[in-house]
Structure 1
Amino acid sequence: MILSLRRRRAARRAGNKQHEHENGNMELTIPSHFQCPISLELMKDPVTLSTGITYDRQSIETWIEGGNHTCPSTKQELRSLEPIPNHAIRKMIQDWCVDNRSYGVERIPTPRIPVSSVEILEILSKITIACRREDRVGCRQLVAEVKALGKESDRNRRCIVANGTGCVLSTAFETFSKASFDENVAVLEEILGVLTWMLFPLDGEAKSHLGSAASLHCIVWFLKSGDLSARRNAVLALKELLSSDQQKAYALAEIQGAIEALVKLIEKPICPTSTKATLMVIFHMVSSPPTNEKIMAKLVEMRLVSLLVDMLVDFERSICEKALGVLDGICSFEEGRESAYDHSLIMPVLVKKILRVSHLATEFSVSILWKLNKNEKREDGGVLVEALQVGAFQKLLLLLQVGCDERTREKATELLKLLNPHRARLECIDSMDFKNLKRPF
C-alpha cells in the first residue's frame, strides 16, 4: 500500500525534499511481511495457520467460513482450523506504526484474543453445576460473563452459539423457574436477555425447556410486570416458542393475564421489534386450529380489532402484513366480525391496502373483505354498499387483471358477485389509489 499526497510529484520535480518531508509527503511503503496475503492490507490481528503462513484474522476467518480448509498461499490441507495469534509480528507492526506516525499512520490497538470452544464449554459446565446447587448468584455471574464475551466480537458470538449455550441456558431458566420466583428474578431476567439477544433460533431440546409450564409462567410474569427490556425479551421468547409449536398458544392463553399483556404491547408499543413479535404471537393464537372461542372472545373484549385497524392506517409494510394476518384470523369468528363492522374505517383501510403494500397484505385484505361481506346480515347490505363507495369493485377488477394466487382470485370473484347487485347505489373511487401501480410481471 502506498501513502502519498497529490503534491508529491510536484515537490519532487521542484527538488524541495525538505519541504516535502515537513508536509508528510514522502512515499511510505508497508513492508511485505506486514501485509496480509489475502487482503494485501496492513494486518491488524495477525494469526498463523498450521502451515506456518500468517494472515490477518478477519481475512482468514472469512476464507475458512466460506468452506475452505486449505491454506490460501500453499494450498496445503489445514490440520487445524484454529488460527494461532502471532504476537511477535503484531508487536513489530505496532512498533512500525509508532515509528511512522509522522506520516499519518495510526498504531493498531492490541486485539482481544477470541474465546475458544474450550473456554465456552468450561463456563457452560460451571453454569450447569450452579443450577444443580441452585446457586443463583454464581449462575447470574457466569451468564453475564457469556454476555460480555458475546459483545466483544461476532466471532465470539458464533463460538458461543455453536457450543450448545442455548440448551444450557434454557435448562437453567427452567430450573430457576421452578424454584422461588421472587428470589430468582434477577438470574431469570439475565438468562432471558442473553437467550433473546444472541441464541435464537433455539433447537428442539432448548425449546422444550424454555416452553415448559414453569418457564412459560415466568415469561408471562416478565411480560406483565417487567421493565421495558424484560417485556421485550419476553415477547420475543414467546414468538420463538410459538413459531415451531402452535400448541403452546393454548397453554399461553390459559395463563392469567397473558392475553391482556399482549394486547397492552399493541396499545402501548415499546419498539417495532416487540410490536412485530407481539403480532406474530397473537397470530399463532388466532390461527391455530381449532381456535379456542374463549381466546377470541377475550381478544375482542380487549378492543384488539380497533387497535389493529388504527395500526393499519399508517405503519410500515412488515407491521401491516402481520396486523392484517391477525385481523383475518379474528374475522373468522362472529364476535370478531361484529367488532369489525362497528369500526368506521374498516372498509376504507382494507380496500386501500389492496395492491398498495405487498402481495401478502393484498391476500389478507381480500380475505377479510370476503369474510365481512359474505357474512353481512343487514338487509340494506351496509358493508357491501360501503365497500362500493370506497372503490372495492374497481380494486378487485384490477387485482384480477394484474394477477394473484388462485385462492385470492376465487374470493375476489365471489366478492364481485356480492357487490354487483348494489352497484346502482352511490359509488366513488380515489383515482390516486392507482397512481404508479406496477404489474407484478
Structure 2
Amino acid sequence: MVRDDNPYIPVPSIFRCPISLDVMESPVSLCTGVTYDRSSIQRWLDDGNNTCPATMQLLHTKDLLPNRTLQRLIRIWSDCLHLPPRNSISSSPPSSPLQQPPPKDHLRHLIHHMDADPLDSLSKIVRFARESDDNCKFLAESAGFILVLVEYLGGSGNAEDKNIDVLEQVVMIIDLVKDKIQDREELSRWMLKKTGRDCLASLLLIAQHGHVNSRIASAGVLESISVNAEAKILIAEKDGFLHQLLKSTAREKDPTVIEASLSCLIALSTPKRVKIILVYSGAVKQLSKLLWDPNSTMATVEKALKVLETVSSVKEGRGKICEDGKCVSGIMQRLLKVSSAATEQAVTILWSVCYLFKERAAQEAVGRANGLTKILLLMQSNCSPAVRQMCADLLKIFRVNSKSVISCYDTKTTHIMPF
C-alpha cells in the first residue's frame, strides 16, 4: 500500500499502523482498543512482549480481533486512488498488497494443491480461518482437509528434517478449527494411532522451538485430542512432553503460554498413571514457584492450584507436596484474595493432605504459615458451603482451644468456634 514517504498521496492517520507507520494491510485490534497491522503486532508479541506498544498497558489477553470496518475503509480508499503496490511508489523492499483471506472457491484450489507451495497455501488458509467462525466451520467440514493436515503434521522423517514453519501453520489451523470438528475422537485417533505418523513429535518440536502463538496452539491441540484416558496416557508417556509443558510454565515465559500449558496439564492429568508421571517430572516444585511468583496472573494461580489439587489425590503427589517446604506455605499464601475458584482449590488441597490423609508434615507447615488464622477468616467470609465444611474439618484436626488460636489474631471480632 502507501508509505508516509510518498509526498503525493495523503494518508488518513487512522489507516497507519502505529508500529510500522505504513497503511495497514490486515488491521487487528488488541484488548486495549488500539488497532495495528497484523504482521507488525504479531512480531511484537512473538518477541515476548505482553504490553500494548501504543499505550504500554499490560495485555490481559493477546487475542487479535480483525477490524473489518477499518479494513473495508482502507480497501475503498485504495480502490478509489488506484494505488500501485508499495514497491512501485517507494524505495522500500517489495511487499504484497492488502492480504485478504482467499474466497472459498480459491480456498478449495489451495487445499487441493498445497504440495506446490505448502507454506504459502497454509498461511493463506490461516488468514481465512481467523476471519470468522463460519470460515473455521467451512474448513472443518471440507472433505478430507483435516486428514491432510494430520498427514502434514505427522510427516515422515526425523524432527530435524521437518520444516517447522510449515508445521506451525498446520497447528495454527487445527487449533482454529478444532471446536468445529464434529468427531473429536476421530481426530485423536488420527493423530495418536495411525501407523507411520509422528504428530506428537511435531507438536513437541513446536512447543520447544515455535513462536509464541504456535506454542499456544500446540498446547490447545494437545488438550483437544486428550479425549479419553488412553489418549492422555499416550501423550503423557511421549518422551519429553510433560517435561516441556512444565518448562513452558517457567516464570520468565509469556503469561499466555504459561496458561495454555497449565490448561493442557489439567486436561492430561486425570488418569492416575499420568498424575504419577507428572509428580516425578517435577510438577510440584514448578507449580510452587508459580504460587510464590507475585507476577503470576489470576488464571495462572487458579490453574496451578488445580494441577496441585489433581496430584494431591495420589500418594506420590501428597508426598512431594509435604516434602517441598514452600509448597504448603505457597498454597496458604493464595488461600485468600485471588478468586473464589483459587480459594476452593487451595482449601481442597489442604483438606486432602491434612484432614483426609492426615499428613503430619503438611499439618505442621499449615501451622507455621499461620494457617489457622486464615482458615478462621475464610470461614467468616462469604465462602461456599463446601469450603466452609472443609475449613471446619481442618480446624477439628488441630484441636486447639479458642484462646490459643485467637492469641495470634488481634481483633475485636467475636468468633464462634466450630467445635
Q: TM-score range by the shorter chain?
A: 0.5 to 0.7
Aligned residue for 1:190? 169
* Cα displacement (A) at 1:193: 2.9
Q: Distance in 2 between matches of 1:93 and 1:228?
A: 38
> What secondary structure sits across from 1:201 in the alignment?
helix
Give the counterpart of 2:245 among 262, 275, 284.
Answer: 262
Asked whether the equivalents of residues 222 and 231 of structure 1 are also in contact (C-alpha less than 8 Å), the reply is no
Number of positions where the alignment pairs a residue of Structure 1 with one of Structure 2: 314
Q: Deviations over 1:112-162 (max 9, x none)?
A: 69657xx224423541x347xxx3x43333212223556xxx7x4455324
Asked whether the equivalents of residues 336 and 378 of structure 2 are also in contact (C-alpha less than 8 Å), the reply is yes
Aligned residue for 2:389? 410
Asked whether the equivalents of residues 170 and 206 of structure 1 are also in contact (C-alpha less than 8 Å), the reply is no
> Which of structures 1 and 2 has the larger relative contact order (alpha carbons within 8 angstroms, sep 6+)?
2
> What secondary structure sits across from 1:402 in the alignment?
coil
Aligned residue for 1:174? 150
Give the counterpart of 2:349 among 361, 368, 375.
Answer: 368
- RMSD, aligned CA: 3.8
Residue correspondence of structure 1 range 19-34 to structure 2 within 5 A: none
Does residue 179 of structure 2 align to residue 201 of structure 1?
yes
TM-score norm. by structure 2 comes to: 0.63
* Cα displacement (A) at 1:334: 1.2
Residue 172 and residue 192 in structure 1: after superposition, are their counterparts in 2 closer, same or farther (change >3 A)? Answer: same
Instruction: Note the residue ranges of structure 1 that are not aligned, 5 or more in a row.
Output: 1-84, 96-110, 435-441
Q: Distance in 2 between matches of 1:124 and 1:165?
A: 13
Does residue 121 of structure 2 align to residue 142 of structure 1?
yes
> What secondary structure sits across from 2:248 in the alignment?
helix
Asked whether the equivalents of residues 209 and 215 of structure 1 are also in contact (C-alpha less than 8 Å), the reply is no
AA aligned opposite 1:160: N
Asked whether the equivalents of residues 184 and 224 of structure 2 are also in contact (C-alpha less than 8 Å), the reply is no
Residue correspondence of structure 1 range 31-430 to structure 2 within 5 A: 119-127=103-111, 129-130=112-113, 135=115, 137-148=116-127, 156-158=131-133, 160-165=135-140, 169-182=145-158, 185-186=163-164, 187-196=166-175, 198-199=176-177, 201-205=179-183, 208-209=186-187, 212-213=191-192, 214=197, 216-223=199-206, 225-229=208-212, 230-242=214-226, 245=228, 247-267=230-250, 270-286=253-269, 288=270, 291-293=271-273, 295-314=274-293, 315-374=296-355, 381-421=360-400
Q: Distance in 2 between matches of 1:311 and 1:193?
A: 27
Asked whether the equivalents of residues 140 and 181 of structure 2 are also in contact (C-alpha less than 8 Å), the reply is no
Residue 175 and residue 428 in structure 1: after superposition, are their counterparts in 2 closer, same or farther (change >3 A)? Answer: farther
> What secondary structure sits across from 2:179 in the alignment?
coil
Q: Deviations over 1:224-260 (max 9, x none)?
A: 6533445443223213333x65653122113222222
Larger Rg: 1
Residue 217 and residue 113 in structure 1: after superposition, are their counterparts in 2 closer, same or farther (change >3 A)? Answer: closer
Q: Distance in 2 between matches of 1:195 and 1:283?
A: 20
AA aligned opposite 2:121: L
* Cα displacement (A) at 1:420: 2.2
Q: Distance in 1 between matches of 2:302 and 2:354?
A: 21
Q: Distance in 2 between matches of 1:165 and 1:263?
A: 31
Aligned residue for 1:40? none
* Cα displacement (A) at 1:320: 0.1
Aligned residue for 1:439? none
Instruction: Note the residue ranges of structure 2 that are not aligned, 5 or more in a row.
Output: 1-71, 83-96, 414-419
Structure with the larger helix share: 1
